Amino acid sequence: MPTAPRLVMKFGGTSVATIERIRNVALRVKREVDSGRQIAVVVSAMAGETSKLVGWCKELSALHDWAEYDQIVSSGELVTAGLTAIALQTLGLKARSWAGWQLPLRTTDMHGSAAIADVGTERLITSMNEGNVAVIAGFQGVASGERVSTLGRGGSDTSAVAIAAALKAERCDIYTDVDGVYTTDPRIVAKARKLNKISYEEMLEMASQGAKVLQTRSVELAMIHKVPVQVLSSFTDVPGTMVVDEDEIVEKQLVSGIAYSRDEAKITLVRVPDRPGVAAQIYGPLADGGVNVDMIVQNVSEDGKFTDMTFTVGRADFERAMHVIERNREAIGYQRLATDTNVTKVSVIGVGMRTHAGVAAIMFRTLAGKGINIQVISTSEIKISVLIAADYTELAIRALHTAYGLDG
Ligand code: ASP
Ligand code: MG
């Protein structure tokens, strides 16, 4: 007998924040069970729980043992998984919870931000075939030495997509506190529209350029394994946004969305000797130090002897980047450093850019029209990002949203 279609339902922290909400989750799961599907539920910790646990680790030691950190911060998901299983049982369903190690969901040894290596499904599938709803603790796995690991903040999205891929689920539904993916942050632009569909690639850019709705790695995984993902709300009954292959989107927009990130920092090395190898001398040590460099500009040197080099990093990496650059001052030979942490990166994203010229021109003209200075520009095939003064964030996003015809 062919097995029933499988569905993965992932519930974020706000969706399981209270016992009442966990009851509501159980009711939603029951509806899908009643429709004849096998269900794997993936849960986050209750909203605020993980941050509380992280805070305790930091309070004890800034340089804590990362394996112990994982042991601690993974506990929030164990609680919600068990509670959700009980809530399902009170509705008369068969259900059991799973910790990451029980599957096992194997990961790399990078404690604190491990990557998924393999999802064990044998025991899970046996249990589901016996009629149990599987309730899986998200965000966690097991590294070598049978040590518990975690996947980085927001990692339960990635757990859910990986499990959906391993189970060959028909879809992975990600329940959150917004009812889908919007053209931009609705808190900034009241006219932001919910997208019915968005391509994996666009979603990947949206997530990595600052839209917080899905963990970036979950989108990568979904794209690789072609898992259809739906982002929807656990508080309403409206359809969400489907993240799908580009071919499945008929009406392609020039620009699908505008993302932004305030967590940026800009560093300029003033008067760097303009000679071969200098870029390697700057960016090599940064990479070795684990600093992720994002945007880069090198000025044309007027005298052929000196140039300025500007780059951006995530705000969280700023101090480390400064330390690395200062330590390498002699080797690089710059005159001085200029820094700015009061900057925002605004990105316009759309697969339409591949085939249509002029998208960048609209962006530059629009920002110029508002008197907003562009400090750094970077582009990819389907994205243009600019760095601007943080004070102009809202103004820039609203103007661009209108300029690209995204206002609802
Ligand atoms: N609870 C974890 C966090 O807050 C994982 C997740 O919610 O996705 O980061
Ligand atoms: Mg999340």
* CA–CA gap between residue 293 and residue 157 (Å, rounded): 25
Q: Which residues form the domain of 95?
A: 6-177
Of the residues 130, 158, 177, the one at which a domain ends: 177
Ligand 1 closest atom vs CA 76: 1
Ligand 1: distance of its center to the CA of 368 in Å?
39
What average pLDDT score do residues 179-207 get? 96
Q: Does residue 295 sit within a domain? A: yes
Choose the final residue of a domain: 155, 177, 199: 177
Ligand nearest to the CA of 42: 1
93 lies in some domain = yes
% pLDDT > 70, the chain: 100
**Is 210 within a domain?**
no
Q: Which residue has the CA at smallest separation from atom 6 of ligand 1?
A: 154
- Is the domain of 159 the same as that of 271? no
Please say if the pLDDT value at position 304 is more than 90: no
Domain identity same for 392 and 273: yes
Within-domain flag for 202: no
Q: What percent of the chain is modeled with pLDDT above 90?
A: 91
Q: How many domains does the chain have?
A: 2
Among 50, 73, 116, which residue has the most ligand 1 atoms within 8 Å of its CB, making it the best to mutate? Answer: 50
Atom of ligand 1 minimally distant from the CA of 155: 8
Domain-embedded: residue 224: no
Which pLDDT score, from 0 to 100, does residue 207 have?
95
Residue 119 domain-assigned (yes or no): yes
Mean pLDDT of 117-129: 98
Strands 6-11, 148-150: pairing is unpaired
- pLDDT band (50, 70, 90) for residue 1: low
Q: Based on the fold, state whether residues 271 and 151 are members of the same structural domain.
A: no
Residues 22-57 have pLDDT tens digits of 999 999 999 999 999 999 999 999 999 999 999 999
In a domain, residue 87? The reply is yes
Domain final position from 162, 177, 192: 177
* Residue 141 token pair: 């796995």
Dump pLDDT digits (tens) for 311-352: 999 998 999 999 999 999 999 999 999 999 999 999 999 999
Region 210-224: what's the mean pLDDT?
Answer: 95
Q: Which residues contact 114 (CB under 8 A, 6 or more apart)?
A: 70, 107, 108, 141, 143, 149, 150, 151, 152
Which of the residue ranges 104-108, 195-199, 272-276 would you say has the lowest mean pLDDT?
272-276
CATH number of the domain enclosing 151:
3.40.1160.10
> Residue 195 corresponds to which tokens in the numbers above?
């997208």
Output the CA 51–ligand 1 centroid distance in Å: 9
Same domain as 273, residue 171: no
pLDDT at 253: 81
Residue 248: Cβ within 10 Å count: 10
Q: Which residues contact 263 (CB under 8 A, 6 or more apart)?
A: 210, 314, 315, 316
Query: In this predicted structure, what is the pLDDT of residue 251?
Result: 76
Asked if residue 3 has pLDDT above 80, the reply is no
Average pLDDT over residues 350-363: 92
Which pLDDT belongs to residue 212? 87
Count Cβ atoms below 10 Å from residue 162 Cβ, excluding itself: 29
Q: What is the structure's pLDDT at 2?
A: 63
Of all ligands present, the nearest one to the C-alpha of 213 is 2
CA 109 to CA 45: how far, in whole Å?
A: 22
Same domain? For 164 and 296 the reply is: no
pLDDT band at 395 (very low <50, low <70, confident <90, very high): very high
CA 390 to CA 344: how far, in whole Å? 5
- 3-state DSSP of the chain: CCCCCEEEEEECHHHHCCHHHHHHHHHHHHHHHHCCCEEEEEECCCCCHHHHHHHHHHHHCCCCCHHHHHHHHCHHHHHHHHHHHHHHHHCCCCEEEECHHHCCEEECCCCCCCCEEEECCHHHHHHHHCCCEEEEECCEEECHHHCEEECCCCCHHHHHHHHHHHCCCCEEEEEECCCCCECCCCCCCCCCCECCEEEHHHHHHHHHCCCCCCCHHHHHHHHHHCCCEEEEECCCCCCCEEEECHHHCCCCCCCCEEEEEEEEEEEEEEEEECCCCHHHHHHHHHHHCCCCEEEEEECCCCCCCEEEEEEEEEHHHHHHHHHHHHHCHHHHCCCEEEEEEEEEEEEEECHHHHCCCCHHHHHHHHHHHCCCCCCEEEEECCEEEEEEEHHHHHHHHHHHHHHCCCCC
With contact defined as beta carbons under 8 Å apart, do 387 and 264 qualify? yes
User: Could you tell me the CATH number of the domain that includes residue 313?
Assistant: 3.30.2130.10
**Contact between 256 and 210 (Cβ < 8 Å):** no
Residues 271 and 161 in one domain: no
Residue 53: exposed, middle, or buried by beta-carbon count in 10 A (0-12, 13-18, 19+)?
Answer: middle
Residue minimizing CA distance to atom 9 of ligand 1: 153
Give me the chain's average pLDDT, please: 95
pLDDT tens digit sequence for 245-303: 999 988 778 899 999 999 999 999 999 999 899 999 999 999 998 899 999 999 887 78
| CA 302 vs CA 114, 277, 309: distances in Å | 46, 19, 14
Query: In this predicted structure, what is the pLDDT of residue 165?
Result: 98
Q: What is the rounded end-to-end Cα distance, in angstroms, of the chain?
A: 48
Residues lining ligand 1, CB < 6 A?
A: 12-13, 44-45, 50, 76, 138-139, 153-157
Partners of 270 in the beta sheet?
Answer: 336
Q: Are 202 and 39 in contact (CB under 8 A)?
A: no
Indicate whether 73 belongs to any domain: yes
